[in-house]
Structure formats: C-alpha cells, structure tokens
C-alpha cells in the first residue's frame, strides 16, 4: 500500500511551513464591531429553576403566611419547593457578594410566628400592617427587621450581623422600638442566632433560620432608612 504522505521533494515543499513574513492572521474586529456582534448574539442569563415559579405560585394567596399558619395543608409543597431551590445550586456562596445580599427585602411569606402574630393582630390596635421588611447592610454590619403601619408607624428591631460564607449570617438584636407619628416606645433588645440564605437571585431570597423557620422575600422597589 502506498504511504499516506509521500516523502518526495514535491510533497516536502507542500508541507513545509510558510515563511514567517508570509503568514496571515485574521485581524481582530475593532471595538465597535465587537460590540455590534455582541448585540446580535447577546449572552443569555441562566434560567431560574422551575421550583422558583412553583414556590411563588404556592405562596401567592397565603397572605404572607397567615393562611399557611391557619391551614398548613400547603406547607409540605412549599417546603419541597424551597428544598428544590436549595438543591439547584448546592453550597452556593450567597452571602459574600455584599451588593447582592444588601438591600431592602419585602416579605412574601414566612413561618416565623412573632412576625405573623403582629401582622395578624394589628387591627386590634386600629391599624393594619403594611410592608414587612428585612433591611440588610453588609458593609455596615447591620440588620433591621421592620413591620410598617401606614401612614407613619413602624415596629423596628435593630441588629448587628456577621457574614459566615458560604450561606450563613449570624445576627444579634440590639434594640427594638415601636414608633408612631412623633412618638416611640422602646423595648429591650432580644435574641441572637443565624439564618442561611439557601437561594438568592436578583429578584428573591429564600432563607432558613436557627429555629427551622422559613422566609421568602423579594427585593423591594424602594430603600428603607431609619
């Protein structure tokens, strides 16, 4: 059988490398062209796991957890979605990015009894609970839990935090106060513990705390400041 590559002089000339001066490299596109090409073929953000939509659907009519507390029939399905979200990125670092974790988060749903007690019983004080917020300031090491009573009232619990990657936030409450229009009543500080952010994206955050309570919050369209 004839060899696949001939060792003749002609073949050697064909296979010989081009002299350096004759090599041609495709020129890199100018910056404007590169940007144009990226615009034609934009990179796609990762799709959220299906459990996110299922979770938001299951909690949408639960009045921030009041109905789940009264009738826990839906609770196993909600917890199953939370577990699936946690499993979609196991061990993901959800606390080291200060810009992503910090912000004003608005309550969508929780099993935390103290918050739900205040929300449920606010009408006995001739008011109604407005937004329930968790305000995290990672650079400042601060955490504020806020239950608002429009137009001017709020129950505010101040605390300090320590970040413990990949998912834990240790907290210690330092002050609590009930505020109205031009008045406030202080309460003694209480409580310390931790919560793990088991899922975090640009829209929602899901956490589980030291007592086994769950929290689902969305990034609020405004910033809360004391």
pTM recorded for the entire structure:
0.79
Is residue 120 within 8 A of residue 66, CB to CB? The reply is yes
Exposed / middle / buried, residue 143 (Cβ in 10 Å: 0-12, 13-18, 19+):
buried
CB atoms within 10 A of CB 213: 16
Taking the C-alpha atoms of residue 198 and residue 82, their distance in angstroms, rounded to an integer, is 8
CA-closest candidate to residue 199, choices 215, 213, 221: 215
For the chain, 226 residues long, give each residue's pLDDT as a single digit of tens.
433 333 334 333 333 343 444 444 445 445 555 555 456 655 565 688 999 999 999 999 999 999 999 999 999 999 999 999 999 999 999 999 999 999 999 999 999 999 999 999 999 888 999 999 999 999 999 999 999 999 999 999 999 999 999 999 999 999 999 999 899 999 987 789 999 999 999 999 999 999 999 999 999 999 998 7
pLDDT at residue number 26: 46
**pLDDT score recorded for residue 35:** 56
């Amino acid at each position: 059988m004839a060899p696949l590559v001939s060792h003749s002089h002609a073949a050697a000339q064909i296979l010989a490398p081009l002299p350096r001066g004759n090599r041609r490299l495709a020129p890199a596109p100018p910056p404007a062209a590169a940007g144009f090409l990226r615009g034609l073929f934009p990179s796609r953000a990762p799709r959220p796991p299906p459990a996110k939509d299922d979770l938001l659907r299951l909690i949408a009519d639960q009045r921030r957890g009041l109905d789940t507390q009264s009738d826990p029939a839906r609770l196993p399905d909600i917890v199953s979605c939370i577990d699936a979200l946690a499993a979609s990125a196991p061990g993901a670092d959800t606390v080291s990015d200060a810009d992503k974790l910090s912000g004003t988060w608005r309550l969508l749903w929780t099993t935390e009894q103290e918050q739900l007690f205040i929300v449920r019983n606010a009408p006995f004080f001739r008011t109604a609970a407005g937004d329930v917020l968790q305000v995290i300031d990672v650079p400042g090491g601060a955490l504020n839990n806020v239950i608002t009573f429009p137009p001017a009232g709020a129950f505010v619990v101040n605390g300090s935090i320590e970040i413990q990657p990949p998912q834990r936030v240790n907290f210690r409450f330092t002050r609590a106060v009930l505020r109205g229009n031009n008045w406030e009543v202080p309460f003694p500080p209480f409580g310390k513990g931790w919560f793990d952010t088991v899922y975090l994206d640009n829209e929602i955050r899901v956490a589980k705390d030291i007592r086994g309570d769950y929290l689902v919050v969305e990034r609020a369209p405004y910033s809360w400041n004391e």
